[in-house]
Amino acid sequence: MWDLSYAIPSLLLLILFIGYYFFLPRVPNKMNRTFIMLLLIEVTTIIFNLLSSWVDMHYMDFSKGVVEIINSLFFSLFFLRAYVFFLFTTTVVKPDFCNDIYFSMLKRIPLQLSIIMALTSPWTGLLYSVDEKGYHSGPYYRVLYLVFWLYIALSIIIVLGEGKHALQKRERISLYWCNTLLFIGTIFRLLAPRVLMMNTFCVLAVTILYLSFENPDFYLEKRSRIFNSRALRQYLEEINGVKPYKILAFAIHNYRDIRQIYGARQMDAGIDMIGSFLIESFPKMEIFYYRSGRFVILDGDDLELDLDTMKEKIQKRFDSPWNAPDAELFLDVSMVYIDLGNHIKSADTVFNILAESLEKVANAGSEDFIAIDGRDVISSEKETLIKRNLEKAIEQNLVEAFLQPIVDAKNHKIIGAEALARIRDDEGNIIPPGSFIPIAERNGRINQLGEQVLDRVCNFISQNDLSKLGVNWINVNLSPIQFMRQNLDEQLASIIAKTGINPKYIHLEVTEESLIDETLLLKQIENIQKSGFYFVLDDYGKGYSNLARLRKCPFINVKIDMSLVWEYSKHPDEMLPNMISTFKNLGFSITAEGIEDENMAWMMAEIGCDYLQGFYFSKALTMDEFVEKYS
């Protein structure tokens, strides 16, 4: 009366899977452990489904107790199966509430209650009963479906909610499919309970999970047995913060060139050999290949990775060549060691630090060895945080421009101001430009940042009567990166056009770095001057100065860098006064930066500076503070 023709092939298919799955190496993480549990429970459930169907059909050949035990176990496994599918969803989505102990307790309650029901059914008869006529379903038999549907519904809710951020679209679709198949399986079981079709649907659901999450090939470097960087990232996310770990990584010098010299095929063989060497030499550690000739050895079980011995072993092996099929590969490596101790930081940060430091040692002649501890991570985390705040400020148009007054050197009356960019962290505290401008210059955001500062300044000029504030112009800084932009003149003109202010109020500050490409410089300045802006040379004396080149540039003002000003105020000599008189002969007016006390102000006026800027007069103020103070 039971039809086993679907269950048996399903079971065989599943066993095939398990064989393949266990054959390849797997990262020891929670997702993989849950999947193994899922496979084992699935196999046992199908076996018990077959067994229980068999004893129910031939109940006369077995004692009542045997029939009951097998049925109770089968039903328990049936509930467990629903639960483990759900558990798999939570391990891949990792919703926040999963760490909550109440949720952990709550999610098991339906499972526990239904298993109690299954195990007590021989006495209560709630789920099923066995008498002299054989097996009968009990009055609460449908609980079987309710529990299953409950876990399916929970899985879908989690994917719909938290899954949106945690998973890729493809992965979400796979989980929907998996749960839909499980649901169809229960419907089949409900309509044709004796056909045992549900097992087939469960195996299909397992197949989907396998194909979209579990295929070991996803995590292996192509055609080899070393884990790839995807596996590394996942593993780091898994153990980071849970247990202490140490990393020893190394990079083959000049990998790209070497790959060209030896050829891709030889090099792939070499990478494979290095991988095998590492697996053999450090069998208890996890070995990863993090692309471009970079390997990572991770001691995730706190085996007290013995740095010196390991370093020596690796170095020694690289002293002799690797015998690829058609070539002997002579390779050099540099290493990176990471031990964060108790400074547990986000896995992303660790991954970035690792990638960056490997990049640093990847060239011959670069540093030979980098050791990284918790303090390095803190500074790198700070940078990540600043990056995030910078992105936010730029995306949401929140970059602020503070104003620092510039005064007349003779009477200390305000005459102009410099706009200085500011962004804020999540608490509203100000982040100084010294920490975000270099980042913005590296990632290209400096262009938008500069646009926003100019926009703030234009609005300020259009909304205030500058003459009442005593301000004749406002200096705006232009980074050398902005300066290289071909259409900078159009960009500046279009921002100005929005408020319709006269560009003569804006003095653009450029530094000497912008002067390196002379043809570009002159072309840019000429174009921008046509729109009516003036130019100022900032930070003179900070870097490499070339007076001959300066002469050609139509600056109206040169700002002496505060390092020169401070040096002069401590040890006055002839150099600065001479330089200033040369500038004045060339027709530039002079501003001294970094004036911090009365004496400095006096000295700089004495040697011919026209304008002064510094904390002695005022630090940079918000626009509102500035208006309040100077109107």
Phi, psi of 578 (to 5 degrees): -60, -45
Q: Which two tokens stand for residue 403?
A: 């104003």
From the number of C-beta atoms within 10 Å of its C-beta (0-12, 13-18, 19+), residue 410 rates as: exposed
Using CB under 6 A as the binding rule, whether residue 538 contacts ligand C2E is answered as yes
281 vs 589, which CB is nearer to Mg ion? 589
Q: How far is C-alpha 342 from the geometric centre of its chain's CA atoms?
A: 21
- 10 Å Cβ neighbour count for 318? 18
Using CB under 5 A as the binding rule, whether residue 618 contacts Mg ion is answered as no
Least separation, in Å, of the C-beta of 614 and Mg ion? 11
Using CB under 6 A as the binding rule, whether residue 434 contacts ligand C2E is answered as yes
C-alpha closest to that of 182 among 206, 160, 210: 206
Q: How far apart are CA 503 and CA 454, in angstroms?
A: 11
185 vs 433, which CB is nearer to Mg ion? 433
DSSP state of 421: E
Least separation, in Å, of the C-beta of 480 and ligand C2E? 8
Using CB under 6 A as the binding rule, whether residue 437 contacts ligand C2E is answered as yes
Give the residue, chosen from 110, 163, 216, 433, that forms a contact with ligand C2E under the rule CB under 6 A: 433
Using CB under 6 A as the binding rule, whether residue 163 contacts ligand C2E is answered as no
Give the residue, chosen from 421, 510, 564, 623, that forms a contact with ligand C2E under the rule CB under 6 A: 421
State the binding partner of 620 from ligand C2E, Mg ion, none, CB within 5 to 8 A by kind. Answer: ligand C2E
Using CB under 5 A as the binding rule, whether residue 512 contacts Mg ion is answered as no
445 vs 559, which CB is nearer to Mg ion? 559
State the binding partner of 479 from ligand C2E, Mg ion, none, CB within 5 to 8 A by kind. Answer: ligand C2E
Question: Which residue stretches of 396-445 are H helix?
Answer: 433-443
Least separation, in Å, of the C-beta of 613 and ligand C2E? 6
299 vs 561, which CB is nearer to ligand C2E? 561
Least separation, in Å, of the C-beta of 566 and ligand C2E? 9
Using CB under 6 A as the binding rule, whether residue 479 contacts ligand C2E is answered as yes
DSSP state of 212: I
Give the residue, chosen from 389, 477, 514, 557, that forms a contact with Mg ion under the rule CB under 5 A: 477
Q: Under a CB-based contact definition with an 8 Å cutoff, are residues 407 and 415 in contact?
A: yes
Q: How far apart are CA 228 and CA 24, in angstroms?
A: 14
From the number of C-beta atoms within 10 Å of its C-beta (0-12, 13-18, 19+), residue 574 rates as: exposed
Give the residue, chosen from 118, 538, 583, 618, that forms a contact with Mg ion under the rule CB under 5 A: 538
Q: How far apart are CA 235 and CA 61, in angstroms?
A: 52
Using CB under 5 A as the binding rule, whether residue 509 contacts Mg ion is answered as yes
Using CB under 5 A as the binding rule, whether residue 89 contacts Mg ion is answered as no
Using CB under 6 A as the binding rule, whether residue 602 contacts ligand C2E is answered as no
Least separation, in Å, of the C-beta of 569 and ligand C2E? 11
Q: Long-range contacts: 591-599, Cβ < 8 Å, 24+?
A: 591/406, 591/536, 591/557, 591/558, 591/559, 591/560, 592/409, 592/559, 592/560, 592/565, 593/539, 593/559, 593/560, 593/561, 593/562, 593/565, 594/561, 594/562, 594/563, 594/565, 594/566, 595/565, 599/569
DSSP state of 363: S
361 vs 417, which CB is nearer to Mg ion? 417
Give the residue, chosen from 539, 558, 605, 630, that forms a contact with Mg ion under the rule CB under 5 A: 539
Least separation, in Å, of the C-beta of 540 and Mg ion? 9
Selected range binding ligand C2E among 3-11, 223-231, 309-317, 608-616, rule: CB under 6 A: 608-616
Question: Which residue stretches of 404-554 are H helix?
Answer: 433-443, 446-463, 466-469, 480-483, 488-499, 518-530, 547-551
Residue numbers at the binding site for Mg ion (CB under 5 A): 477, 509, 538-539, 593
Residue numbers at the binding site for ligand C2E (CB under 6 A): 404, 420-421, 432-434, 437, 446, 450, 453, 477-479, 509, 538-539, 562, 593-596, 613-615, 620
